[in-house]
Structure 1
Amino acid sequence: MNDTTGPADPTPPEARRSRRGRGKGASQPEVDWVARMADEVVATAHGRDPQRTIVCASGLSPSGPIHLGNLREVMTPHLVADEIARRGIPVEHVISWDDYDRFRKVPFGVEGVDESWSAHIGKPLTSVPAPRGSAHPNWAEHFKAAMAESLARMGVEYRGISQTEQYTSGAYRDQVLHAMRSRHEIDAVLGQYRTKSAEPGAPGAVVDAAVAEAAAEGAEGSDDTEAMQAAAEGSGAASEEDGGGASGYFPFKPYSKAFGTDATRVLAYDDDTTELTYVAVGPDGEEVTESMHLDRDFHGKLVWKVDWPMRWAYEGVDFEPSGVDHSSPGSSFQVGGQIVGPIFGGHQPIGPMYAFVGIAGMAKMSSSRGGVPTPADAMRIMEPAVLRWLYTRRRPNQSFSVAFDADIQRLYDEWDALGRKVTTPAAQPGDLAMHARAVGTAAGELPSTPVPVPYRALASVVDITGGDPEQTLRIVQGMVGDDVELTSLDQLRPRLDCAQTWVLTQMPQEDRTQVRTEPDTELLASLEPAQREAVELLAARLTDDWSLGGLTSLVYGIPKIQGGLDVAEKKLPPEVKTAQRELFALLYRLLVGSDTGPRIPTLLLSLGPDRVRALLTP
């Protein structure tokens, strides 16, 4: 993250003033959640040391495809760090790549991977071969690269930290030795929760993680306290391996020399010589006793509940959110808060809980299996700014879903409505801040579509024309009118490409538009007089105003004319509204042989006047 001053704070001046204090009881304008969190982080961090750079942190494990749920782990601190940077305050966003974690299982459905990868279970992710055909040297780098590319497209700037490099280089040597010397104190902290977890119904008890998931999914609209209480009732985080064993407590887990895995059992440790003795278990159950000196041998890592607070202290982290499973009694975040100060001399960061991100119709995502949508998948069907907006408009403790189905059209309608609203006096401070955070960062604005035609209209055009470039350009020119001259489809990109990809990959085949090749003479012959009059009026007036607006007025206006009303009339009697719906249904049957389809004005514009008249004439 750049420490230089970027563009102005996106929150309007009156909202910024409200953050910095007014008289007690004074009314305060609405302020977005990002600004509120940034206020807290700045006040807390500068309360410790006003001169140091503020650190916001994320952690990602490249154990498989890094999905849209993981993206919340990045976007929450990114948005807070970006807000701090906009204020001209030195700040850094660090992402710890947990690439020294063990390979737990072979993810399902990853291209180029089969069950032979199960031979690598227990090895560090950086010691596992990349999927076949990958250009990257190992498993971790393969999945890190895809995420890094997506983050760049979204304007997320960060400093990446490879935990493999940190551990194997000896960067954490002193921290590891100190943790081993302090193992009895650490064990005493963890022991409180082991006792609780053994008692059914106790605050730290391990219960079905699905309950925590359900609590988080229902967190939308709740406040932080309610969400935390719900999470505490259902977290399975207290069951994480913490270094305990029959030979005593040891917070360091070695990777064996013989087999390269963490299938190891520590037997003893000598504080004076730093020699660690352990048993390594092979794939067939064979056991080998090995030893290493922690002051110079670096093939292993601290267990997670000790590793995380160690990193807080090492990096000086001020802000790091975590998922619901890390936010209950006995979980990593709560236990880490009791370890970081007494053991490592650091402080626990401000750490709001974030709720799960879902996909329309899908359960909670897990990167340990393949086939889950990633940020790259989402940006094939939506622009980066829209994806940023999804993570900006909901507080971290509110769950939400990313639409890959037809709801994406409604989503884009909302996005375009926000874009129009922020240009008017009706825009609220929260609207302005939310929009500004979506379209750019402290470093500048993201690329955008020069002529943002409604997504649903572009999808309809692609659907009807099959994406033919000439037809698309002709039809969309009719949509935008004479105010904008379209000379190239590049003026519609990347939104056009997103809509085209959605139609080709996500739109159900049964929803695709099949335009009739011949008129339905039987249906035309059976029309009642009022229906025939409506169809004839439409055919006769098609080219009076051959534009999206003109055709919209025409199809909505014909039932008004037939009902004796002015075409500009807004308040319609029920019978005219019914006549409008019946006309639309009739036109769908005549044009596409179905009861539904794209919006009628878009359909007419796409087909052209000659083809429409041919299908409406017996």
Structure 2
Amino acid sequence: MTDTTTKPALLRDDAVHQAAQVSKSWPFEEARKVLKRYPQGKRDATGALVPVVFETGYGPSGLPHIGTFTEVLRTTLVRRAYEELTRDADGNPAPTRLVAFSDDMDGLRKVPDNVPDKDMLTANLGKPLSRIPDPFGTHASFAAHNNALLREFLDQFGFDYEFVAASERYDAGAFDDALKNVLRHYDAIMAIMLPTLREERRKTYSPVLPISPKTGVVLQVPIEVVDADAGLIRFTDEDGTAIEHSVLGGQAKLQWKVDWAMRWVALGVDYEMFGKDLTDSGTQSGKIAQVLGGRRPDGLIYELFLDEKGEKISKSKGNGLTIEQFLEYGTEEAMAFYLFREPKSAKSLHVGVIPRAADEYWQFREKLSAQPVEQQLGNPVWHLLRTNGYHGGAGDSLPVTYGLLLNLVGVLGAGASRDQVWSYLGNYVANADAAAHPALDALVTRALAYNRDFIAPTLQRRKPQPNEAAALAALDGALAGMAPDAGAEAFQTVVYEVGKTEAFGFESLRDWFRALYETLLGSAQGPRMGSFIALYGLANTRALIAEALGA
């Protein structure tokens, strides 16, 4: 991604800058929250301009997933919108930072299903993730392994971010002053938290979680503050021994709602979005941040993903769509486009959404260059192209939709190959070469996989009814008199004319198209038939009709 904190921009596009001030696109609406927070820019005690801090959080007890991507993507979009809002006459935006924070001091609560050496992890339950050996044997700790995966994951998509690990900050003493501050406000924090807890939980709750000097386990035990300025507490260890203990230098961590608030204050976080399931946590952490002398960040509370049945996606249930699965059947652009839209509405996330997302992305991208500036700023693609500094331009389009590709490979069957698809694309696309059309080639690869796993196993062509058979025969006769290169529009006109013939008895053209789809393609839905004929080829289409007629 473009590092706008260090590189000057081009001269400001005043039309874009002005339109951004009133754009109702959600990234701009979110960015204006930050602008309202700092009307004159964020400044330090000397009055110098300092970066606005955007943050995303990650729990490294598991592997990075599509929710991680979603949060970093959406936060980046708000960051870029804020930069657009604050560009000066020379095009330079107000400085910003994006911090990707890993809570790797958290104690391991249960052994994940998808890791090796479960016995070793079981023996280390309760210890900070950063102090448990790596079951994969590649890094210094389990957290280090997962943190490395997170960074590789974010780098894969070109995000511009600064990685911060809780363990490094705690162990190096960078959070020591913040921990002392928590101890000084211990009673006030308890007054916020205790009313939100069940009676049984209140008996053991503490904002500070000491790490046992004997077992290395993160303890959920009551504490007594001995000396806040010295960072000293007293508690009873697992073996019943009363211990006076320092919370500094990585010898304790904070309960997560308190930790969240402490992090906001210590890192100067100004913006962080989170899911609807953390609404209450965000409220309590905001109150604690205020007690600690800070301020809750602005942010968006987004809705959660649902599966195909409308049920909440759960990692433990495995009913969601992983990022690897999305990218096997769809492109990164399609995924980002789908995740961009309507973040405050619950979204179904399953393989069925991929083809439409892929086609809608390119529909919006093709419109972009011809739109007036105020409409461009409402176009999802305008925002997505700016996550990595590319602004797009004329000619950003695909000659064939993903939906049409799926219809083609559906007819070709589960054994269709990439080269075979490209040979058919030669009927429809000028200079039909994969190297000349890399974006289309990426969709060809995904369409073959999608067809293999989801379409081919379900396709079933039905026998046409008598009136449908007569219409198909008439269509074949009309096509017989056409040139192979007549073009999609000419083929489409012939299809319309046959369907409108009263003798065939179709109540509407929709019934005619459904008959074509079900008898020729084996599906209840399908493409614009003129485009399909041009792509599949005139002779091949006539052969398909002959097969349906049993000829």
Under TM normalisation by the shorter chain, which class is it? 0.7 to 0.9
Between the aligned partners of 2:145 and 2:369, the Cα distance in structure 1 is 42
Distance, in Å, in 1 between the alignment partners of 2:344 and 2:295 is 23
Paired-residue identity, % = 22
Distance 1:18 1:470, change over 3 A: closer
Alignment pair present for 1:123 and 2:124: no
Aligned twin of 1:54: 52
Counterpart position of 1:559: 499
Q: Note closer, same or farther for the CA distance 1:102–1:367 as it changes in structure 2 (3 Å cut).
A: farther
Letter in 1 for 2:171: T
Kept in 1, the 8 Å contact 2:99–2:163? The answer is yes
- Of 36, 49, 71, 1:73 maps to 71
Q: Quote the offset at 1:322 in angstroms.
A: 2.3
Q: Which residue in the other structure is 1:439 paired with?
A: 385
Instruction: Tell whether the 8 Å contact from 2:427 to 2:536 is kept in structure 1 after alignment.
Output: no
- Tell me, what secondary structure is at the counterpart of 2:221? strand
Instruction: Decide which of 24, 31, 44 is 1:38's aligned counterpart.
Output: 31
Aligned 1:110-509 pairs, distance under 5 A: 110=114, 112=116, 117-130=121-134, 132=136, 135-193=138-196, 245=203, 250-271=206-227, 274-281=231-238, 291-295=244-248, 297-327=249-279, 331-343=280-292, 345-361=293-309, 363-367=311-315, 372-394=320-342, 396-405=343-352, 407-425=353-371, 429=375, 432-441=378-387, 443-444=389-390, 451=398, 453-465=400-412, 466-480=415-429, 482=430, 484-486=431-433, 488=435, 491=438, 492-505=440-453, 507-509=454-456
Single out whichever of 603-612 and 310-319 deviates more from structure 2.
Answer: 603-612
Q: Kindly indicate whether the alpha-carbon contact (under 8 Å) linking 2:109 and 2:125 is maintained by their aligned counterparts in 1.
A: yes
Measured at CA, do residues 595 and 69 of structure 1 come closer, stay the same or move farther in structure 2, by a change above 3 Å?
closer
Inter-partner Cα distance in structure 2 for 1:276 and 1:144: 31
Q: 1:512 to 1:397 in 2, by over 3 A?
A: same
Kept after mapping to 2: 8 A contact 1:107/1:369: no
Q: Does the alignment pair 1:581 with 2:508?
A: no
Partner in structure 2 of residue 63 of structure 1:
61
Measured in 2, the distance between the counterparts of 1:255 and 1:452 equals: 60
Query: What is the rounded CA distance, in whole Å, between the counterparts of 1:563 and 1:472 in structure 2?
Result: 37
Aligned residues of 1:129 and 1:139 also touching (Cα < 8 A): yes
Amino acid of the residue matched to residue 156 of structure 1? F
Contact 2:16 2:373 in 1 (8 A): no
Q: CA deviation at 1:15?
A: 7.0
Question: Quick one: structure 1 residues 277 and 368, their matched pair in 2 at CA, closer, same or farther if it must change by over 3 Å?
Answer: farther
Partner of 2:18: 17
Letter paired with 1:381: Y
Instruction: Identify if the C-alpha distance between structure 1 residues 595 and 446 changes in structure 2 by more than 3 Å, giving closer, same or farther.
Output: closer
Question: In the superposition, relative to structure 1, how do residues 439 and 464 fare at CA in structure 2: closer, same or farther (>3 Å)?
Answer: farther
Q: Counterparts of 2:446 and 2:168 in 1: how far apart (Å)?
A: 38
Q: Structure 2: state its 5+ residue gaps.
A: 88-92
* Alpha-carbon distance in 2 for matches of 1:177, 1:335: 20
Does the residue aligned with 2:56 lie in a helix, a strand or coil? strand
What secondary structure does 1:74 align onto?
Answer: helix
CA distance in 1, matches of 2:243, 2:392: 53
RMSD (CA atoms): 3.9
- Tell me how far 1:162 sits from its aligned partner: 0.5
SS at match of 1:318: strand
User: How far is the alpha carbon of 1:36 from its aligned partner?
Assistant: 2.1
**Alignment counterpart, residue 102 of structure 1, candidates 107, 111, 115:** 107
Change (3 A) 1:137 1:377: farther
Task: Work out the number of aligned pairs and report it.
Answer: 526
CA deviation string 1:401-457 (max 9, x = no partner): 33412x432333332332233233578526555221122326335999984521112
CA–CA distance in 1 between the matches of 2:540 and 2:388?
51
Structure 2 CA distance for aligned equivalents of residues 278 and 340 of structure 1 = 25
SS of the residue corresponding to residue 350 of structure 1 reads coil
Runs of 4 or more consecutive aligned structure 1 residues displaced over 6 Å after TM superposition = 446-450, 526-529
Between the aligned partners of 1:114 and 1:444, the Cα distance in structure 2 is 44
The one-letter amino acid of 1:585's match is A
Letter in 2 for 1:353: I
Residues 527-578 of structure 1, C-alpha deviations (whole Å, 9 max, x = no match): 8994474154156246443654454344334334x559xxxxxxxxx95664
Q: Could you say if the C-alpha distance between residues 584 and 397 of structure 1 is closer, same or farther in structure 2, counting changes exceeding 3 Å?
A: closer
The residue that corresponds to 1:215 in the other structure is none
TM-score for the superposition, normalised by structure 2: 0.81
Whether 1:91 aligns to 2:96 is: yes
* C-alpha displacement of 1:595: 6.3
SS at match of 1:416: helix
Shift of 1:101: 1.5
SS of residue in 1 equivalent to 2:351: coil
Q: Structure 1 598/165 Cα, relative in aligned 2: closer, same or farther at 3 Å?
A: same
**CA drift at 1:156:** 2.3
Please say if 1:537 is aligned against 2:540: no
Over 3 Å counting, the alpha-carbon distance change for 1:363 and 1:601 in structure 2 is same
Q: Which runs of 5+ in 1 are unaligned?
A: 21-28, 199-238, 565-573
SS of the residue corresponding to residue 245 of structure 2 reads strand
What's the offset of the Cα at 1:460? 2.7
Of structures 1 and 2, the one with the larger relative CO (CA 8 A, separation 6+) is 1
